[in-house]
Amino acid sequence: MTLHVLPQLYANSTKSFLKLLIDKSLIKPGFSSILGGKYLDEVDRYLLSHHLVDELELAKAYAEFYELPFMHLVNKPIPAETARLLPEVVARKYSTLVYDLDRLDLWVAVGDPAKLQRNAPDMLVKLRQQKGLKVHLSIASRIEIEAALDKIYHRPDVSPRPIMPPRHEELSSKTAPITSSEQPHVEKEEKFTPPAKSPIPTFLKPEHVIEQEHNTEATDVAKIPLIQSRPAAPAGLVKTVEERPKTIDLRNMQIPEEVLNKIPVNVAEKYQIIVFAAVEPKSKLEPSLIKVAAVNPDDVKVREILSYIESRNKVLVDRYRTDLNSFEVALKLYPREASEAAQIVTEHEDKQATAPVMPTPQKKDAEQPSPINNAPKPPLLQPTKPEAHKPQADIMVEKGDGIKLSATDIISRPSEDTGEELQRLAKEQELSLENQNLDRLLKEPVTSPDLLAKVFKNGRIPEIVAGTLFLAIRMKASDVHVEAEQESVRVRFRIDGILHDVIRVPHFLHAPLISRIKILSKMKIDEQRIPQDGRFDVVIDNRQVDLRVSTMPTVHGEKVVMRLLDKSEGVLSLEQLGVTGTNFDRLIENINKPYGIILATGPTGSGKSTTLYAVLTRISKPGVNIITLEDPVEYELPGINQAQVKPGIGFTFAEGLRSVLRQDPNVIMVGEVRDLETAAMATHAALTGHLVLSTLHTNDAAGALPRMINMGVEPFLITSSVNAVVGQRLVRKICDNCKKKAPIPPAVLSHVKKELEALPSGKLKNINLESLVFYKGEGCSQCTDGYKGRIGIYEVLTMSEKIESLAVSKAPASEIKKAAVDAGMITMSQDGLIKALKGITTIDEVLRVTTTQIKELPV
């Protein structure tokens, strides 16, 4: 028999539904960006609670969206015994109504498909499997369904007991009309004992589909029987209701190897069952269908195995009967090696039934998978046809584009299952976290992009992640970017502040690669619609490395950025960071003060936290109590009390500051001033005798004061508490091995002279403006591009009466900067040019980080 296909309600996306509503002019286009990241049932509630659409409009939109018929239930006669086939609590919970039953056909109206999509309940699948019923879905208004349920469950004249589908002989016989004198005799209801629970579950829901907050809800519903209890039927009832399997002759059939292998040969031989055909679904809403022939399809264990396969793998199974001779002929079609690769039959605890584990078909010219242990595993049906990918070019190296791998270069293609495979990886990761040394996954050190390409070719995801991180550490990368493109995945490293393409691989590696990183970072592997943050620590290349991981949904898939922090390198001093001359003197003078605020400003990745660590290292003494609040703790410093904030549980910077002030501190470091509450608490701490260090995101030092005023801190409190503001950027250093003099274009030289002439008096004594010499790196085996390492360029703004007056009057940052320069401040640009004259960096680098537009400099 061919079962009616049940649509997978969770297969469609929220954004597609919003687009449908916009196209139908039910909502405005702006709601797509507002609601696009929410679950569909959350969108449903939002639209109804804000009266943007009514129930009828929403129901009709659902019908079009899921490609299901729309049903009006008003004035439609619905037999109470039919409606009660679904328990009232389930019907009301999911706004579902069984409104018609005709032998094997069951018609169900759904009023809240969004809730079904969110929870992915198995009740509709179970209904389809009960007694071979064919489930026909339609969409109806929730109001009409609720009204029908109220009418059915509150009518005293309706018998509360549901009935079984009619017997075959009752359907075929003619029934005479009953007269008023011929009332039916109602017998006393027999006490019903429910049958023992089947050892094979009729449906297993993947755990990763439902989030933790819905587990209790799903468990409560699961305890309710989907078909109400009823008196036991005669033994022949099931046979008369269910269609008998058709007969098939397998003698002259040519069955493809990949179809046969959907059931292992040892299972096929033991239970005399064989798959002889597989039918691909006509649409995405339909599951696949396989045709199975059995010598004895009525055998209890055969029925249980096929039902389990159908439920567990979301496929439909058409059952056929064949004779023993026909079966033995078909059994010989199994390849010889199939018996060696067949999986061991899964044995359930009660030993009453078994279910097969579906093996992966053998691949020619490919590395065979390692033997699978004997632990019970759910069966996984393999796709009938392997997914086709467009052929790409062979491996090639292009300057600036990294290495490119084609799909055919990947020897062992990783599994793309998002259910059992990811759960297996999660369990594997729990064990591997006990030993965080990723070096053990690599056969050899990955010291070049070519060796990384070799690791990618093997297709083993744990090795790929380990190899990528190994190479990133060797190349001294600060960030690793994994980006999905339309047909490929691009891996980039940020080295010395500049992104470099390392390798491009086929797109089918994207899903397992991202999942592996998520598992390591303890993120939700099934959540792909919203950004996530995580972190993990590993030992790679014999170094202790801390990784902060961030994911972001993009058009072609999730993008992952891993920030690498090599804890083995230690903390640099202020001199090593590049704080020299007047800037050094000003900063030391202010950090030696017993109270006040010192702010490090600049964009993300400009070295602000590293500067504060250097300050803490300098002032750390046995007689000083230093407490830090960080997110996260990047370096562990001896003699300093470091705490990591956890905003998820309410331990924010502001809350942490309140607690720190009760810990008798001398110096407090706050990772970042993010809001008014934190800024106010930091100001309060500075005014009550504490030295406070923190960071702020601004373009330069002068912009810090207007930024804090904009947050809401009173200007007079800022001027009273702030000691100094450090503005900074990071520039690449010239490689000493290939450094040489570089010519400078006249326009750039004129700009340089203008900047240097603005230096405070006395700073030009060692600089001859008429013969300025600058340097660059040619590129060598040690650096490849002329640069090696980075150094900071700084400006240190200290408070003066004029700056305080400007801040209180809320003057712009440009006026504050001019006053600071007049008071002797060396700007970042000037500090960078001085370092360029000393041969530490290049003019290109200084202009890149200090100007709004970088111009290509002619050689």
One domain for residues 711 and 756 = yes
Q: Which two tokens stand for residue 234?
A: 């005669």
Of 124, 147, 164, which closes a domain?
164
One domain for residues 537 and 596 = no
CB 398 within 8 Å of CB 502? no
Query: For position 38, what pLDDT does the model report?
Result: 75
Q: How many independent structural domains does the chain possess?
A: 4
Q: What is the 3-state secondary structure (H, E, C) of 582-610?
A: HHHHHHHHHHCCCCEEEEEECCCCCCHHH
One domain for residues 108 and 84 = yes
Residue 372 lies in a domain: no
Query: For position 416, what pLDDT does the model report?
Result: 45
| pLDDT range class, residue 286, cuts 50, 70, 90 | low
Q: Which residues contact 61 (CB under 8 A, 6 or more apart)?
A: 17, 20, 21, 24, 26, 53
Give the rounded percent of residues in the chain with a pLDDT score beyond 70. 71
- Give mean pLDDT, residues 458-477: 90
Q: CATH code at 423?
A: 3.30.450.90
Domain of 553? 396-565
| pLDDT range class, residue 484, cuts 50, 70, 90 | very high
Residue 830 lies in a domain: yes
One domain for residues 61 and 33 = yes
Query: For position 73, what pLDDT does the model report?
Result: 85
| pLDDT range class, residue 262, cuts 50, 70, 90 | confident
Residue 722 lies in a domain: yes
One domain for residues 525 and 674 = no
Strands 596-601 and 722-734: parallel
- Give mean pLDDT, residues 675-687: 91
Query: For position 423, what pLDDT does the model report?
Result: 53
Q: CATH code at 777?
A: 3.40.50.300
One domain for residues 633 and 770 = yes
Read off the pLDDT of residues 366-392 as tens digits, 9 standing for 90 and up. 333 333 333 333 333 333 333 333 333
Residue 343 lies in a domain: yes
Q: What are the backbone angles phi and psi of residue 516, rounded to the nearest 5°?
A: -60, -45
Query: For position 181, what pLDDT does the model report?
Result: 38
pLDDT at 284 over 50: no
Residue 137 lies in a domain: yes
Fill in the DSSP letter of residue 388. P
Rounded-to-integer distance, Cα 508 and Cα 249, Å? 40
3-class DSSP assignment, residue 806: helix
Q: Which two tokens stand for residue 506?
A: 């086929």
Which of 9-23, 260-274, 429-443, 607-621 comes out lowest in average pLDDT?
A: 429-443
Residue 593 lies in a domain: yes
Average pLDDT score, the chain:
75
Residue 764 lies in a domain: yes
Of 565, 598, 628, which closes a domain?
565
Between residues 207 and 248, the one the model is more confident about? 248
**Which of 143, 158, 129, 172 is closest to 56 using CA atoms?**
143
Read off the pLDDT of residues 168-202 as tens digits, 9 standing for 90 and up. 443 343 333 433 333 434 333 333 333 333 333 33
Query: For position 28, what pLDDT does the model report?
Result: 82
One domain for residues 558 and 678 = no
Rounded-to-integer distance, Cα 671 and Cα 651, Å? 13
One domain for residues 459 and 555 = yes
Which of 288-292, 303-307, 516-520, 732-736 comes out lowest in average pLDDT?
A: 303-307
| pLDDT range class, residue 728, cuts 50, 70, 90 | very high
Fill in the DSSP letter of residue 457. H
One domain for residues 515 and 617 = no
One domain for residues 542 and 599 = no
C-beta atoms surrounding 197 within 10 Å: 8
Query: For position 430, what pLDDT does the model report?
Result: 47
**Which of 398, 419, 34 is closest to 206 using CA atoms?**
419
One domain for residues 647 and 774 = yes
Query: For position 340, what pLDDT does the model report?
Result: 44
Residue 186 lies in a domain: no
CB 776 within 8 Å of CB 858? no
Which of 214-218, 503-507, 668-672 comes out lowest in average pLDDT?
A: 214-218
Q: CATH code at 343?
A: 3.30.300.160
3-class DSSP assignment, residue 237: helix
Prediction pTM value: 0.52
One domain for residues 421 and 320 = no
Of 525, 547, 565, which closes a domain?
565
Query: For position 813, what pLDDT does the model report?
Result: 92
3-class DSSP assignment, residue 312: helix
pLDDT at 657 over 70: yes
Fill in the DSSP letter of residue 648. G
